[in-house]
Structure 1
Amino acid sequence: MVTTTIKLQNFASYSPTESTTLTLTKPVAVLYGHNGAGKSTIAKVIRHHVNATLDGAGNCSVTVSGLTEPEFLIYDTEYVEENFHAKEGKGIRGIFTLGKKTAEELEEIESLEDDAHRISTELETANAAQSQLDTDLEKALNSAKDATWSIKSDYEKGPLRFCLEENKVRGDKARLFQHLSKAEDSDGSILIEDLLREASEIEDETAEKKAELSIPANSISSLESNHLLGSVIAGSSDSRLSALIATLKNESWVRSGQGYLDDSNGACPFCQQALPHDLTLELAKLFDTAYEDQCKQLATLRDEYKSSVTAIISLAGGAPYHDEYVSSDLALQNAWKDLLLILEHNSTELDKKVGNPGDPITPTDSTKTFDAWSDLAATAAAKIIDYNNRIANRDQVKKSIDKRFWQRMRHDHSASLALYKTQAASITNQKSTMAESITSLTTDLATKKKSLRELRASATNIDASIDAINQRIQNIGTQGFKIERDTKNDGYYHIARGSKGKIDYKSLSEGEKNLITFLYFIESLEGSHKSDGNSNKLNRIIVIDDPVSSLSHNHIYDIASLITINVIERRTFPQIIILTHSLFFYHELFKAIREKEWKDYQCFRVTKKDFSEVCEMRPDEIKNDYQSYWLVLKEGITSHKYSVAVPIAMRYILEHYFSFIGYHDKLRDALLALGDDDKPFHAFYRYINRQSHSDDINISDLPEIAPSIYVEKFRQVFDKTGYLRHFNHMMGIEEAETEAS
């Protein structure tokens, strides 16, 4: 096992007093950190270790165990300076022994040609199968679109047609299917009948608010349970009449006659016979003050009950209770009838009790019946309030209806969507398997062709490297320059552009310089700058520092693939050290690596506070994709340098976030409004309004100004849509800062 130990102290951004030790024990080490964090310092320390003529590197040191004669091959800015700024005036040093020094037998060449032909045939067959899978996937999609198109025919007429029109799906199958696929699913509780009714209500622009229901409080239940109603209210036992009246049970009759005594002239009010001289006194003893008080309380109780009943009946008979929301509610009407019967019955019973205080009564308890009616009335009242709110807020209600309509449609067409999802998943898996086969065949074919090139290489052995570098330039889609043999200086190259021939390296753009130097470096790993070609790859430790600096965003994938395929996966070199500031490059590098292969990787994060620090992490510890896009914006602000990655990240953020919350329309409207209000940035808003898989037709329209200005425009999108808090959270902006601004 090879172990490389790097001690960092008192050099560049590393602490002058405390050392940071980096121990690399696995075949691949990847170090990520922002610009200025201290990554390139690590490469410089290794370069100082290799070249003793350089000035000292503080208290830093590099030790390697497990290799007898380790050889460091370092790609960094100094490598570019050494190899492409020719100090001798001869050009670029050639790379020798990439090919074999002697040609193989004719039989081996023929065998390679046969293999290449066979692989080409298999590759053609695989590509045809892949095309057929594409056709099958398209058929499955068209079938699903046809199945869901019935939404259009079912609802293009009637009050719900705006759900089609405002989403612009009325005449577009693909758009309708896409919109339906993105809609939230529901459990089927949303009823089309309710949506139709609500849509019909707001469709009438002349509709007015309804009178709201007033629901009376239950003031009768407590009266029904008064103890007097079940009590026997009897006269005093102090009267000599008490025993007789109790026997005859005619207390109420006697009491009613008592009221006529004053006008009877000493005769009985009923039979006209003379009354005993002490009858008035005895009656006064019988119907004493306590008795009279109870009778008065009883009469008052009855009057209060009847008054409350009258108020309830009056309220329930008013105009609001004749609204269709009430009259059409059968349960509510039946509950009112039940309550009315109880109230009328209890009123009659109370009259009887007042007439015969000595007879106890038990009124029917109206509590449950009243509460049932009250609850149903409250439900109707809520419906009326909802109706009034809909009339007052038509626009918001339309949005609510639209959302629930598509949720219902998603539920109704779930079978078609599930079938397509299953078919698409199956076909996609087959395509993935086929793609792996195509990739394998393509790799095998490239290997065979490379072997043929190597066998046919010239005796000098630098022509093969020229071909290889030029092939890589073409493979990544770069045109306009190439490497040529320098006929005046044997063993050297020069750069040529089209018909102009040899050109000065300085005439290349920064991106072209970095691209060609890195391709040259990759090719040099397989050979030597010496004409005898002696090299031992098993002793080589490869160091690659920021290979995507100044490169087009589109080339990040190419560079990551080159490193993965040509450096890492060959498993030729005992140790590979990669340093990068690009989060996109970091993720691209690990996309091709299976998690089970992480055992061969060490990952580190380089950060800087007062001094640079290095800490180990898992390969997947750096933010997920969504968080990564936000990190790109933060890095863009700190770098103060325009990068096409900034608007690309913005477009991905908008697509992911607003797809998740389901408010594409709100986003679209906000972007259109901001674009119209801010003409200088109209192209910017138009660009980020496209989804991530759309064309990049107008990205070149964006002025290369400070990223912080674009981020401010991006903040306005979240402010416009009402999600500024999410923007502040992802950008790490405290609420207090927001309020202050």
Structure 2
Amino acid sequence: ELSLLKEKKEEYKTEIEKKENEIKKINDEIKKIKLEIIQLEAKTKNEKKLVDNINKKIKNYTSFELVHKEDTEGKGFYSVKCLRTNEDRDITQISTGEKNIIALLYFIEKLNEINEVETINKLIVFDDPMNSNDDTMQYLIIEELQNLMGELLKNKRNDKIILMTHNVHFYINVKYDFDRRKNDYEKNNNFIRLISDTKKTKIKYIKNKDEDFKTNYESLWHETKILSTLSSCDPAILLNPIRRIVETYTKFNGVDKKVFLSKIEGAKKFFDVNSHSIDDLEADLNGKSKENIIEIFKECFEKNNSIEHLKKFWKEENNK
């Protein structure tokens, strides 16, 4: 009886494999049909709805709106209407930032169209979307990107988003709520910092929340620490972030910057923000090494009774 059952088991196994192959063929056919559906819907989708959605999002930020029109052949196109005069605006009258926000919102609306039909997994790349956009637009962009990323998590799809930016303020805000737990840096999201010393770029993986930026001011300290450890970094590169730290610290604490710098010989020459231009960097150094510059920088805080502030942002164990 056992031998008979083993024979039946092999028969069933062969039948299962056969059915699995049939299922695979059916799934491949389903994917093919879904792609055809997407292509057809892309051609017939109501562009008027897309324009209405964009206009709702920009109405509090711009003095114009998009209008969907059709030419004599029935082909759709867009015009820009000034809300003050109700007349069409020439495209040259729209700033680069305004064009960018329209392009971004249009792109996101198109993504939403595709998502309405289940499709292959997507890799979505945003390359510095804050570039050429003024401050009034940044919160709209942040909100749109957060909504998009939230939808991906909610739908539990395998879509991925890569977001690149030079803007620390934008980065801090757009990742808010996506880094609440320390394991988010390892499990759901990856945070990577690229640090350039003008010659090479160092890739730093942020492993936990404590290593990441919390404010723009903190990012200046991170930048200064990293640059001070790079062997290929020119000492002049350190001066700019240090000057910005000094300026921010003295302004926020109501301290006279001249008094703050005057207690250390040579500090005013290096770190006085208002008295230097970019071409002064090399002239300031006079043979000073990175170690000399960092030592002077630290002494400024020590002599101004701000040693605890220095220790908070400059952790020696991370700088060896």
Q: Name the TM-score, length of structure 1 as normaliser.
A: 0.24
Residue 48 (structure 2) aligns with: 463
Is there any run of 5+ residues in structure 1 with no aligned partner, and where? 1-67, 70-95, 102-458, 639-645, 659-663, 674-709, 716-728
Distance 1:618 1:569, change over 3 A: farther
Aligned residues: 208
Q: What SS is found at the alignment partner of 1:564?
A: helix
Residue 526 (structure 1) aligns with: 112
Quote the offset at 1:97 in angstroms: 5.7
Quote the offset at 1:473 in angstroms: 0.8
Q: What SS is found at the alignment partner of 1:600?
A: coil
Among candidates 128, 131, 145, match of residue 546 of structure 1: 128
Contact kept, 8 Å, 1:556 with 1:585, in 2: the verdict is yes
Amino acid at match of 2:142: A
Quote the offset at 1:550 in angstroms: 1.7
- Over the matched positions of the two proteins, sequence identity in percent amounts to 23
Q: What SS is found at the alignment partner of 1:486?
A: strand
Residue 490 (structure 1) aligns with: 75
Amino acid at match of 2:218: Q
CA-to-aligned-CA distance 1:196-249 (integer Å, 9 cap, x gap): xxxxxxxxxxxxxxxxxxxxxxxxxxxxxxxxxxxxxxxxxxxxxxxxxxxxxx
Contact kept, 8 Å, 2:152 with 2:159, in 1: the verdict is no
Note if 1:713 corresponds to 2:303: no
Contact kept, 8 Å, 1:556 with 1:584, in 2: the verdict is no
Note if 1:508 corresponds to 2:69: no
Note if 1:604 corresponds to 2:172: no
* 1:178-189 equivalence runs, <5 A: none
Distance 1:652 1:519, change over 3 A: farther
Residue 686 (structure 1) aligns with: none
Amino acid at match of 2:135: H
Residue 147 (structure 2) aligns with: 565
Contact kept, 8 Å, 1:484 with 1:495, in 2: the verdict is yes
Residue 555 (structure 1) aligns with: 137
Distance 1:514 1:549, change over 3 A: same
Residue 212 (structure 2) aligns with: 622
Distance 1:614 1:597, change over 3 A: closer
Quote the offset at 1:579 in angstroms: 0.8
Distance 1:559 1:605, change over 3 A: same
Matched residues in 2 for 1:536 and 1:711: separation?
58
Matched residues in 2 for 1:557 and 1:534: separation?
26
Residue 167 (structure 2) aligns with: 582
Q: What SS is found at the alignment partner of 2:164?
A: strand
Residue 296 (structure 2) aligns with: 735
Residue 188 (structure 1) aligns with: none
Is there any run of 5+ residues in structure 2 with no aligned partner, and where? 1-30, 33-39, 225-235, 238-242, 260-270, 277-289, 300-320
Contact kept, 8 Å, 2:247 with 2:273, in 1: the verdict is no
Contact kept, 8 Å, 2:126 with 2:164, in 1: the verdict is yes
CA-to-aligned-CA distance 1:56-83 (integer Å, 9 cap, x gap): xxxxxxxxxxxx99xxxxxxxxxxxxxx
- Which of structures 1 and 2 has the larger relative contact order (alpha carbons within 8 angstroms, sep 6+)? 1
Matched residues in 1 for 2:91 and 2:247: separation?
36
Matched residues in 2 for 1:629 and 1:617: separation?
16
Quote the offset at 1:527 in angstroms: 1.9
Residue 7 (structure 1) aligns with: none
CA-to-aligned-CA distance 1:549-603 (integer Å, 9 cap, x gap): 1222343333222111123444356111111111111111222222254420011
Contact kept, 8 Å, 1:539 with 1:573, in 2: the verdict is yes
Amino acid at match of 1:485: H
Q: What SS is found at the alignment partner of 2:173?
A: helix
Among candidates 466, 479, 495, match of residue 62 of structure 2: 479
- Root-mean-square deviation (CA, aligned residues, Å) is 4.5
Contact kept, 8 Å, 2:127 with 2:165, in 1: the verdict is yes
Matched residues in 2 for 1:573 and 1:486: separation?
36
Contact kept, 8 Å, 1:541 with 1:575, in 2: the verdict is yes
Distance 1:538 1:713, change over 3 A: same
Quote the offset at 1:611 in angstroms: 4.0
Amino acid at match of 2:273: E
Amino acid at match of 2:207: R
Amino acid at match of 1:556: Q
* 1:111-260 equivalence runs, <5 A: none
Residue 3 (structure 2) aligns with: none
Tell me which structure has the larger Cα radius of gyration. 1
Q: What SS is found at the alignment partner of 2:194?
A: strand
Distance 1:535 1:569, change over 3 A: closer
Q: Name the TM-score, length of structure 2 as normaliser.
A: 0.51
Q: What SS is found at the alignment partner of 1:547?
A: coil
Contact kept, 8 Å, 1:603 with 1:619, in 2: the verdict is no
CA-to-aligned-CA distance 1:306-351 (integer Å, 9 cap, x gap): xxxxxxxxxxxxxxxxxxxxxxxxxxxxxxxxxxxxxxxxxxxxxx
Contact kept, 8 Å, 1:546 with 1:580, in 2: the verdict is yes
Matched residues in 1 for 2:41 and 2:87: separation?
26
Quote the offset at 1:624 in angstroms: 4.0
Distance 1:616 1:631, change over 3 A: closer
Q: What SS is found at the alignment partner of 2:162?
A: strand
Distance 1:651 1:574, change over 3 A: same
